[in-house]
């Protein structure tokens, strides 16, 4: 697989994974209290914004094989969106764990007898 094809495939897989994550997040919070669903919707919106930007990047890739230069420039523009989506998802998961009384990663569960 040449470099251009590899970049295109990675972008295709990433956009698909973002779409799946968006849909899965909304499915997981079905039936939960409204404030949880609203918070999940905000996070899902950030994931979809990132998804849309990655699709835009894929569409902007030149056909002449100069993908890496194009991707590098565009990723600099995408970085704030990537960071916001990941930060928002992490915060949402922490809030959800706290609401459910579940320990976060690395924490010991509190056992009540």
This model's pTM is above 0.85:
no
Domain boundaries, the chain: 3-100
Give the pLDDT score at 105. 59
Q: In 10 A of CB 105, how many CB atoms?
A: 7
Task: Determine contact, residues 39/95, Cβ cutoff 8 Å.
Answer: yes
Task: Determine contact, residues 69/75, Cβ cutoff 8 Å.
Answer: no
Q: Which of the residues in the chain have pLDDT under 70? A: 1, 3-4, 62-73, 102-113
Distance (Å, whole) CA 53 – CA 67: 16
The continuous run of DSSP H or E covering 105 comes out as none
């Amino acid at each position: 697989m040449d470099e251009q094809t590899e970049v295109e495939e990675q972008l295709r897989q990433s956009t698909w994974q973002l779409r799946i994550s968006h849909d899965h997040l909304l499915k997981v919070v079905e039936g939960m209290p409204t404030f949880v669903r609203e918070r999940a919707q905000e996070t899902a919106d950030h994931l979809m914004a990132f998804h849309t930007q990655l699709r835009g990047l894929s569409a902007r890739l030149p056909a002449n094989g100069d993908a890496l230069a194009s991707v590098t420039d565009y990723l600099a523009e995408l970085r704030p969106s990537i960071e916001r989506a990941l930060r928002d998802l992490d915060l949402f998961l922490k809030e959800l764990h706290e609401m459910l009384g579940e320990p976060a990663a690395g924490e010991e569960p509190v056992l009540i007898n």
